[in-house]
Structure 1
Amino acid sequence: MDKKRWIIPTVLAAVLIISLVWGYNQFNLRNDYETALINHYQRLFYDTKKHVENLQVSLSKALVSDSKEQNVLLLSQIVNEAYFAQDKLSQMPVAHAEIAKTEKFLTQVADYSYSLIQNHLDGKELTSKQRETLFNLQGNSSNFNKELSLLHDKLIQGNFRETTISSRQRNKLQEANKEMVQTRLVNLEKEIGKSPELIYDGPYSDQILNKKPVGLGNKKVTKNEAERIARQFVGDKKVSKITTFEEGKDMPKAAIPSYTFSIVPKNKSEDMATHIGISKQGGKVVWMANPRGISKNNLSMKQAEERALKFLEEKGYTNMESNYSLRYDGVGVFNFAYKEGDVTIYPDLIKIKVALDNGEVVGFDSSAYLMNHKKRDIQTPTITPEKAREAVKIDFDINSTRLAIIPKGNREVLCYEFKGKYKGSDFIIYINALNGKEEDILQIIKSENGTLTF
């Protein structure tokens, strides 16, 4: 009897201690996730701000430069900074539809600058009208910088990471934080919307940017059907809760109008939600983003690439090959291009982001693929690889040659792709497979973080 008297209290005490330890660990784990998420958004914000500042500076310099060589350098910097800013902005905690104009503005800055580079390479000077357009773009980038600076000041004053407040108060402050980001950037949308459309003869005119997608099919899907597709894409058994984002007023103008959902995984809080867009036409997954924090790099980039390729095959995307990659903030980013026979088709591009801690796919963007993928009647080259080689510098050391289709404005061009080295640097040269004309040159930048092209 004496033993029975102390056994039950001892067991209960042990259970209580285990529960307290488990609860404490879960509390710390949640705080770690919360801190990682906050740090991730802070890095995105500061990176966006840095790229827009660099963009504005380069635009200002281009306005006063009379040197073609200097302008080509400055315009190349503008192209890179605009694309980097757009990539970071797309990962911010803001409804996708509400920053469509801002993203389009950054795309236009990059594309317009690229068209001016082409003009310079053709021996043309900047016209007064082109300088006026650059001046307008510089003004808009200045407005962007001001909004980001005001947002920066507000975030610092808010002190949203104060740990002494209650959980309920902290949640309210986090909502206010998110709403502040949303409001500031939406205010910027209104200003961007007042800007005139860019009109120029370059390869990426506004008409081309707004072309009709050809890879969606004809079927219209309902919101319920789109929700089912979203559940299947992330794994129906993993879904705890799914809600619909309110559509912005500019959604009908989007290149691919979509239903947007927020998906809370099982055993996760709402701040760990995955966001996903399903096209209203065709019911295709246009994009998916899971902004969870990543603390460790357990996988190599090669392992992450294999996981990304397996993911694509599971989702029905076959004949895809990885071309370029980048590692940052615990994520491996991979670009996959479609391949038909022995021809690589670069317009049909899908971007995959893989977490390097456990191999989970945390980002997916098929918008370029859906805009361009179609059944093609690929022409037969009219010149041989040897003839195309004559258009490449004689001392360019070639290590691979293949056929590829590259985008050139509203056209697609069949080219021989020559990869190789010149004076220690890696380049890709594209020679038109029908007429032998040099179509494009890309420089390959390799580092411990991956492979990029410029």
Structure 2
Amino acid sequence: MENNRWILPIVLAVALVFAGVWGYNEYQQKNDYKVMLNNEYQRLFYDMKDNIENVQVSLSKALLSKSREQNVVLLSQIWQQSMEAQEKLSQLPIRHKDLSKTQKFLNQVGDYAFALLQEHLDGKSLSSKQRQSLFQLQDYTAYLSKELTNIHNKLMTGKLNFNAVRRREDKELDKTNEKMLDADLTKFEEKISNNYPELIYDGPFADQVLKVKPRGLGKGKVNANQAKEIASNFIGSKKTRKITSFEEGQNMKAADIQSYTFSIAPENEEKERAIYISVSKTGGKVVWMVNPRPVNNPKISVKEAEKNAKKFLDEKGYKNMEPNYSLKYDGIALFNFAYKEDDVTVYADNIKVKVALDNGEIVGFDAAAYLKSHYDRDIPEPKITEEEAREKVRDGFNIENIRLAMIPLEGIKEVLCYEFKGKYKGADFIIYINALNGEEEKILKVIRNENGTLMI
């Protein structure tokens, strides 16, 4: 009996030791996760900084170059680097409304370069007005690079930790966001607020397009509680642990869609992880969704990811969407889907979907362009036959596929075309012949590599 009195204290002591070891391990794992996540955000930031610095350099070269061939290369680089910078920025733990102008700036730099690239391919040179716009863009890009360097210095000296910025508890939100942005990126937002040039060009983010009233939202208003329910259902109500409203999107001028925006804490995840989602005030449509989690060890193919993206759109009610191009980076596959009405592809009605290649999860969704432009079109019948359109295509172009497509021209204008995909001297091209008058409207070069397919 004497010995039995010591058994319980010994068992409790052993249990306490095990509990302490377990708790310490959990603490260490959580710290390791925070370090890993912060390192991932730092890598995204450095990549974005490099992209923007490369844009600035290429803009400077384009202003100095007199060679049309050289400018084609430089403008292509500006377009691609701007797009990659915008993608990196969208994954950083920063509120969208604070950087709406920066995101619009990066989109417009890329699209303006793309439009000038098309003109160069048509044999045109830079006009004095276009050169002036490039000077302004180069100036703003240099300023943005300077502010990013200030943030870089804070990261190097340990004055800034992305995990602190990422926390979205109500009390900490304004404080941590201010710490990140007040001295640096918000300066850029203020600088371009009043002086940023209005760029007129043929691109999806052209100002004349952004000023158009959205056509695809439907009617009726939703309140904040209804929008919160829509956001939760979009992610999956069973996957939602906590949903917090933190902005209403009044400054989301890039999409020009008034919306409620929410931060969602997923179930069975670290407390610091959050998904961000925007719901339109009119119609209650999900405008965009971002899940900026790191992706490690890709396991699924881009083809499998495309199937996941298509299934996701079908489940969300976006029928008749077809993939047109893709881009792979950082363990993520980005797909651009266009709406198809009967046998006609409508390029203006496009949706972007991002899929994580580790488990096939949807980590990004952007329907802003679709919601801006989608409506019941009265698509005209072709006035020339397919054979007549073929005659407008250059001899030696090996045609592989033909279809009808509505393509955007001059901002909001659309035109019905025959789309000819094929090869010329070993390179892939797409030629658009107007189905109403037989004019050659556009020529796109298709670039395929291990990271996806792009058209310039």
> Using the alignment, how far apart are the partners of 2:265 and 2:436 within structure 1?
52
8 Å CA contact retained: 2:65, 2:71: yes
What amino acid sits opposite 1:348 in the alignment?
A: D
Counterpart in the other structure of 1:400 = 401
Query: CA 1:29–1:340 in 2, change beyond 3 Å: closer, same or farther?
Result: farther
How many residues are treated as equivalent by the alignment?
447
Q: Which amino acid aligns with 2:444?
A: L
The residue number in structure 2 matching 1:386 is 387
Give the Cα separation in 1 of the matches to 2:270 and 2:355.
21
CA distance in 1, matches of 2:156, 2:293: 23
Give the aligned partner of residue 113 of structure 2.
113
Instruction: Kindly state the Cα deviation for residue 272 of structure 1 after the two structures are TM-superposed.
Output: 0.5
- Structure 2 residue aligned with 1:135: 135
Contact 1:151/1:180 (<8 A) preserved: no
Letter in 1 for 2:321: M
- 2:97 match: 97
Q: Describe how 1:349-428 pairs up with structure 2 within 5 A.
A: 349-408=350-409, 409-428=411-430
d(CA) in 1 for partners of 2:356, 2:2: 56
- What residue is the counterpart of 1:190 in the other structure? 190
Q: Deviations over 1:177-230 (max 9, x none)?
A: 764433321121001113243254656752223221110012111111111111
Unaligned segments of structure 2, at least 5 residues:
none
SS in 2 for 1:309: helix
Give 1:253 deviation, angstroms. Answer: 8.1
Q: What does the per-residue CA deviation read over 1:276-296, in whole Å, with 9 as the maximum and x for residues that have no partner?
A: 111111111011111122222
Q: Give the match's secondary structure for 1:245.
A: strand
In 2: Cα distance, 1:98 partner to 1:297 partner: 32
Identify which range, 429-438 or 218-227, moves more after superposition: 429-438
Cα-to-partner distance string for 1:371-397 (whole Å, 9 max, x where unaligned): 111111111111222222222232222
**Contact (CA 8 Å) 1:155, 1:177: kept in 2 or not?**
no
Displacement of 1:28 in angstroms is: 5.0
Asked if 1:150 corresponds to 2:150, the answer is yes
Q: SS at the partner of 2:156?
A: helix
- Residues in 1 aligned to 2:326 and 2:24: alpha-carbon distance in whole angstroms: 39
Equivalent positions of 1:5-154 (< 5 A) are 23=23, 26-27=26-27, 29-121=29-121, 123-154=123-154
Instruction: Give distance in 1, aligned partners of 2:451 and 2:220.
Output: 41
For residues 350-404 of structure 1, the C-alpha deviation after alignment (integer angstroms, 9 at most, x for no partner) is: 1111122222211111111111111111111112222222222322222211111
| Amino acid paired to 1:439 | E
Distance 1:177 1:121 in 2: 47
For each residue in 1:231-278, what CA deviation from the matched residue of structure 2 results, as whole angstroms up to 9, or x when unmatched? 111111221111111357635785112111001112333420111111
CA contact (8 A) 1:352 1:363 kept: yes
Distance change >3 Å, CA 266–CA 391, structure 1 → 2: same
Residue of structure 2 equivalent to 1:326: 327
User: TM-score, normalized by length of structure 1?
Assistant: 0.88
Q: Is the alpha carbon distance of 1:252 and 1:35 closer, same or farther for their aligned partners in structure 2, counting shifts above 3 Å? A: same
Change (3 A) 1:96 1:4: same
One-letter identity of the residue aligned with 1:141: T
| CA positional deviation for 1:104 | 1.9
2: CA distance, partners of 1:236 / 1:44: 30
Q: Is the 8 A contact 2:101 2:254 kept in 1?
A: no
Distance 1:307 1:10 in 2: 55
CA distance in 2, matches of 1:88, 1:162: 14
- Structure-1 separation of matches of 2:255 and 2:322: 28
Q: Give the counterpart letter for 1:345 in structure 2.
A: V
TM-score, normalization: structure 2?
0.88
Which moved further from structure 2: 32-41 or 218-227? 32-41
**2:209 corresponding residue in structure 1:** 208
Matches within 5 A, 1:298-313: 298-313=299-314
Q: Which residue of 2 aligns with 1:442?
A: 444
Q: Give the share of equivalent positions with the same residue, in percent.
A: 56
Q: What is aligned with 1:341?
A: 342
Residue pair 1:33, 1:292 contacting (<8 A) in 2 also = no
Alpha-carbon deviations, 1:295-347, whole Å to 9, x = none? 22222222222221111111111111122222222222211111111111111
Residue number in structure 2 paired with 1:315: 316
CA shift at 1:422, angstroms? 2.2
The CA distance in 1 between the partners of 2:423 and 2:322, in whole Å, is: 22
- Letter of the structure 2 residue corresponding to residue 423 of structure 1: K
Unaligned runs of 5+ in 1: none
User: Quick check: 22-31 or 203-212, which moved more?
Assistant: 22-31
Bigger shift: residues 276-285 or 72-81: 72-81
After alignment, is 357-366 or 420-429 more displaced?
420-429
8 Å Cα contact 2:97/2:247 also seen in 1: no
Contact 1:243 1:263 in 2 (8 A): yes
Deviation at 1:120, TM superposition (A): 4.2
- Paired with 2:159 and 2:172, the residues of 1 have a C-alpha distance of 9
Partner SS for 1:138? helix
Aligned 1:244-263 pairs, distance under 5 A:
244-247=245-248, 250-251=251-252, 255-263=256-264
Distance 1:23 1:131, change over 3 A: same
The whole-number CA distance in structure 2 between the counterparts of 1:117 and 1:321 is 26
Q: 2:234: which partner in 1?
A: 233
Structure 2 partner of 1:181: 180
